[in-house]
Amino acid sequence: MVLLVGINAKYIHTTLAVRSLQANAGKYRKDVEIAEYTINHRREEIFQDIYRRKPEAVGFSCYLWNIEYVMGLAGDLKKVLPNLFLFFGGPEVSYHPEEVLAKYEYADLVMVGEGERTFQEFMAYFVDGDREISSIDGIVYRGISGLHRTKPRQGLDMDDLVYPYDDMETLKNRIIYYESMRGCPFSCSYCLSSIEKSVRIKSPEKTERELDFFLENKVPQVKFVDRTFNCNHAYAYRIWKYIGEHDNGVTNFHFEIGGDLLHEEDFLLFDTFRPGLVQFEIGVQSTNPDTLKAIRRTADWDLLQKNVARIHARGNIHQHLDLIAGLPYEDFNTFKKSFCDVYAMKPDQFQLGFLKVLDGSFMNEKRNDYEIQASSLPPYEIFSTKWLSYEDVLSLKGVEEMVEVYYNSFQFAASMIYLERLFKDAYCLYEELAKEYEEKHLFERKINRRERYEVLYAFGKKHVPETDAGNWQEIITYDWYRRDFAKEKPTFVKPDSETQKREIRAFFDRECETHGYLPGYEGYVTRQLYHMVYLGEYTVDIQRLLKDGTLQKREPYYILFDYKNRNPLNYAAAERILTMDEFTGTP
């Protein structure tokens, strides 16, 4: 038996590579088993599980996040199973296979590039002895006389690939990865996808048939691993249209796209999509023209801004925008500008990444020219460049953490919009917040949700004008209840007065009879509603603040937070705005 092992970063992830190798093994599929684990497993548990399976050969899928874990595990396996044949594949070994085999004496073979046909031929060699190992294209192997590299493997026709999924029972509540194309039309210097110059795409008919399986099984999320999915507009439009027409009301599809490559008919189609049906990831990376030129990335920035804004205005598609710190010609100040440019686009998710200098990439060839200092261990992240000091990188790391906590969590939306008005720009806000965490040693320990709010409230009080203190308290209280009705309230939440409590109970009494504001709560009594939904009084126009950043007062009103019905894009409770007359039941 040959065992294919995938070691994921998290349990919710799955390994597409090992499934594709097994599915495409032809008549040898019955001789192949799959085992998936995570890097959070104790290595001893994985070691024992593989040993008990008694495989004759084990193949590992190697990536940045698991390479050290994999190599340590493989070496130990060889000690207790000395006749075990160990082979490796994936981007972390494909670009320097001779070095891998020289460094790890227990490694027998590395598959270079895509592996489906290579693996099938390897199985013919290993199981039946039907061919010589030297006749298998796309490998580097250890022979009696040393290391041997065979000729490169030619890419498969994408329609020849066998669909890798047939049973979803073992994959419930996990992210499913799907591939409909290989290669990338761009040549970004930091990315390994740019090495394959051509783009191979499945026929739309095949893709549609395969997506049907996900739709029928109501898979929660399918992530397309394709680079720039809409590089072929006709193909992308047809698949998006198919997904829209066959929406099952559950499945979410994730695509990495070129935001400036969208067409007018795409937007008309997006208008018809259920909120949460699709989400887009757009790699901006930088807005500095010199940087974009150096990394060989072309994009129409003005059109990208316009298109992102159009999608945002519709409110039904989650957008994830990326920046990379440490790129050539990007210093601290130009990165701050890139940050503010992208932040102003109001992405649903704003990811700050740091340059990883990968073997095989053009960026690695230029590391001396750019004076790049990077870790020698995976993920090979930069320490400094000609333009960015390590001190700068540390500062950016703090900002990255604050963006992750206070922006990407969706839990502080109104608060961050309000606070941004008090600083020179958005970057300065997160920079000062990171300094607050540093001074209080908060980066050094775990902090629960309630404390995150307390820290932000105290931070805000330092910067909010005294005349605005009440507004700040209202705004952050709104954010607290927008996500959850927690029993343990932060100190800034004002307790309801006895009068308010009576009025709220009276409102729920009427609601139990009329069901005018809470659809789906029929059958509940006042006592239950009091602990299931929240009614809060406000004088700040929160909706105006969220819409355009304007702080404006209005006549007192109530917001009814409905936690059974949530926004599928940000998980916020559904809201109903009530005038005082509606709240009190005044005709």
Residues 36-47 pLDDT 10s: 999 888 999 999
Phi and psi, residue 177, nearest 5°: -100, 140
Q: Quick one: pLDDT at residue 215?
A: 96
| Domain end marker among 373, 388, 403 | 388
Residues 6 or more apart from 445 whose CB is under 8 A from it? none
Q: How many domains does the chain have?
A: 3
Same domain, 214 and 305: yes
Joined tokens for residue 262: 């969208």
- Cα distances (Å, whole numbers) of residue 74 to 5, 58, 65, 78, 83: 11, 9, 16, 6, 13
Domain-located, residue 468: no
Domain-located, residue 519: yes
Phi and psi, residue 325, nearest 5°: -90, 140
Instruction: Return the number of other C-beta atoms located less than 10 Å from residue 449's C-beta.
Output: 16
Cα 14 from Cα 36, distance rounded (Å) = 8
Same domain, 271 and 344: yes
Cα 129 from Cα 493, distance rounded (Å) = 73
Q: How many residues are recorded in the chain?
A: 587
Say if residue 55 is preceded by a cis peptide, omega within 30 of 0: no
Instruction: Return the number of other C-beta atoms located less than 10 Å from residue 440's C-beta.
Output: 12
Q: Quick one: pLDDT at residue 398?
A: 97
Cα 218 from Cα 252, distance rounded (Å) = 9
Phi and psi, residue 77, nearest 5°: -60, -40
Same domain, 183 and 128: no
Q: What is the CATH number of the domain that holds 212?
A: 3.80.30.20
pLDDT per position as a tens digit, 308-318: 999 999 999 99
Q: What is the CATH number of the domain that holds 23?
A: 3.40.50.2300
Same domain, 54 and 16: yes
Same domain, 224 and 280: yes
Q: Quick one: pLDDT at residue 88?
A: 98
Q: Quick one: pLDDT at residue 299?
A: 83
| Domain end marker among 337, 355, 388 | 388
Cα 413 from Cα 424, distance rounded (Å) = 19
**Of 373, 409, 403, which Cα lies nearest the Cα of 391?**
373
Cα 440 from Cα 460, distance rounded (Å) = 15
Q: Which of 355-359, 416-420, 423-427 has the lowest mean pLDDT?
A: 355-359
**Of 148, 111, 150, 132, which Cα lies nearest the Cα of 24?**
111
Question: Is it the case that residue 401 has pLDDT exceeding 90?
Answer: yes
Same domain, 187 and 307: yes
Same domain, 131 and 162: no
Beta carbons of 434 and 402 less than 8 angstroms apart: yes
Is the Cα torsion angle 72, 75, 80, 84 positive or negative in sign? positive
- Cα distances (Å, whole numbers) of residue 523 to 73, 261, 399, 513, 515: 56, 50, 47, 10, 10
Question: Is it the case that residue 196 has pLDDT exceeding 70?
Answer: no
Question: Is it the case that residue 192 has pLDDT exceeding 70?
Answer: no
| Residue 47 buriedness (CB in 10 A; 0-12 / 13-18 / 19+) | middle
- Mean pLDDT score of the chain: 94
Question: Is it the case that residue 405 has pLDDT exceeding 70?
Answer: yes
Does the predicted model carry a pTM greater than 0.85?
yes
Same domain, 51 and 77: yes
Q: Quick one: pLDDT at residue 387?
A: 98
Strand 252-256, strand 221-224: pairing? parallel
Tell me which residue range forms the domain holding 275: 158-388
Q: Quick one: pLDDT at residue 462?
A: 96
Question: Is it the case that residue 190 has pLDDT exceeding 80?
Answer: no
Q: Quick one: pLDDT at residue 298?
A: 82
Same domain, 241 and 268: yes
Same domain, 143 and 204: no
Q: Quick one: pLDDT at residue 281?
A: 97
Domain-located, residue 450: no
Percent of the chain at pLDDT exceeding 70:
98
195 band by pLDDT with thresholds 50, 70 and 90: low
422: amino acid identity, one letter = L
Question: Is it the case that residue 368 has pLDDT exceeding 90?
Answer: yes
Domain-located, residue 470: no
| Domain end marker among 340, 371, 388 | 388
**Averaged over 324-351, what is the pLDDT?**
97
Domain-located, residue 359: yes
CA dihedral 148, 154, 160, 163 (to 10 degrees): 60
Q: Quick one: pLDDT at residue 361?
A: 85
CA R_g for the chain = 27
Domain-located, residue 425: no
For the stretch 332-355, what's the b/e string if a residue is b when 16 or more beta carbons lie within 10 angstroms of its beta carbon?
A: eebbbebbebbbebebbbbbbebb
Same domain, 218 and 110: no
Q: Quick one: pLDDT at residue 404?
A: 97
pLDDT per position as a tens digit, 70-106: 999 999 999 999 999 999 999 999 999 999 999 999 9
Domain-located, residue 503: yes
Q: Quick one: pLDDT at residue 193?
A: 62
Domain-located, residue 284: yes
Question: Is it the case that residue 302 has pLDDT exceeding 60?
Answer: yes
pLDDT per position as a tens digit, 514-548: 999 998 899 999 999 988 999 999 999 999 999 99
Cα 12 from Cα 173, distance rounded (Å) = 7
Task: State the distance between the two ends of the chain, measured CA to CA, in whole angstroms.
Answer: 77
- Which of helix, strand or coil describes residue 516? coil
Q: Quick one: pLDDT at residue 9?
A: 87
pLDDT per position as a tens digit, 226-281: 999 999 999 999 999 999 999 999 999 999 999 999 999 999 999 999 999 999 99
Q: Quick one: pLDDT at residue 118?
A: 97
Same domain, 83 and 224: no
Is the Cα torsion angle 491, 492, 497, 501 positive or negative in sign? negative
Q: Give me the residues paired with residue 86 across strands.
A: 58
Residue of 497 and 189 predicted with greater confidence: 497
Question: Is it the case that residue 194 has pLDDT exceeding 60?
Answer: no
For the stretch 109-131, what's the b/e string if a residue is b when 16 or more beta carbons lie within 10 angstroms of its beta carbon?
A: bbbbbbbbbbbbbbbbbbbeeee
Instruction: Return the number of other C-beta atoms located less than 10 Å from residue 44's C-beta.
Output: 10
**Averaged over 297-301, what is the pLDDT?**
86
Residues 6 or more apart from 362 whose CB is under 8 A from it? 187, 189, 190, 194, 296
Cα 263 from Cα 282, distance rounded (Å) = 15
**Of 261, 277, 259, 207, which Cα lies nearest the Cα of 238?**
207
Cα 398 from Cα 400, distance rounded (Å) = 5
- Which of helix, strand or coil describes residue 15? coil
Cα 457 from Cα 254, distance rounded (Å) = 35
CA dihedral 282, 285, 289, 290 (to 10 degrees): -150
- What DSSP character marks residue 323? E
Beta carbons of 181 and 187 less than 8 angstroms apart: no
